[in-house]
Amino acid sequence: MQAFAETWEGQGDMRPRMRRTFVAVTTLSALGVAWFVLTTETGLISSGRFPDPAATWAAMRQLAGPGYAGSTLVVHVAQSLKLVLGGFLFASALGVSVGLLMGWNRKAEALINPVFLLLRPIPPLAWIPLAILWLGLGDAAKIMVIVIAAFVPSVINTSTGVRTIDPTIVEAARMLGTPHWRYMSEVLVPASLPAIFTGLRLSLQAAWTTLVAAELVGALAGIGLVLNVAQQDIYPAMILSAMFVVGVLGWLMTLLLGLVESYALGWRTA
Partner 1 sequence: MQHKYLVSVAVIVACMGIQAPSRAATAINISYQPVNYWALPFYIATKKGWWKDVGLMPSFSTFPAGPPQIAAAQAKSWDVGGTGSVPAVLGAARFGIITIGLTNDESKTNALLVRGDKYAAVKANPKLLKGQRLLVTTNSTVDYASRACLKKFGLGVNDMQVVNLGQAQIITAFTSNNGDFAGVWAPNTYTLEEKDHAKVLCNGADAGVVVPGALIARADYAKKHPGRVAKFLAVYLHAWTWAKAHPKQAHAMTKAFYAQGGVDVSDNGINQEFALRPVFPLAAQLKMMDRSKGSSQVDGWFSNIGAFLKQVGTIQANPDPKTYLDDSSMKRVAADAKLSMFANDASAK
Best CA proximity match to 172, nearest among 164, 183, 163: 183
Compute the distance between CA of residue 150 and CA of residue 127 in angstroms, rounded to an integer.
Answer: 14
Q: Which residues contact 242 (CB under 8 A, 6 or more apart)?
A: 63, 223, 226, 227, 230
CA distances from 183 to 102, 104, 173, 174, 177 (A): 16, 11, 7, 9, 9
Q: How far is C-alpha 143 from the chain's CA centre? A: 14
Using an 8 Å Cβ cutoff, are 19 and 11 in contact?
yes
Indicate the SS3 state at residue 240: helix
* CB half-sphere exposure, 13, CA atoms < 13 A: 2
Question: Shortest Cβ distance from residue 136 to partner 1 (Å)?
Answer: 5
Cβ distance to partner 1 smaller for residue 49 or 180: 49
Cβ distance to partner 1 smaller for residue 88 or 235: 235
Question: Shortest Cβ distance from residue 150 to partner 1 (Å)?
Answer: 22
Cβ distance to partner 1 smaller for residue 135 or 184: 135
Question: Shortest Cβ distance from residue 118 to partner 1 (Å)?
Answer: 23
Question: Shortest Cβ distance from residue 226 to partner 1 (Å)?
Answer: 12
Using an 8 Å Cβ cutoff, are 145 and 138 in contact?
no
Cβ distance to partner 1 smaller for residue 216 or 265: 216
The full DSSP string for 177-209 is T--HHHHIIIIIHHHHHHHHHHHHHHHHHHHHH
**Site of interaction with partner 1 (CB under 8 A):** 48-49, 68, 128-129, 132-133, 136-137, 216-220, 225, 228-229, 231-234
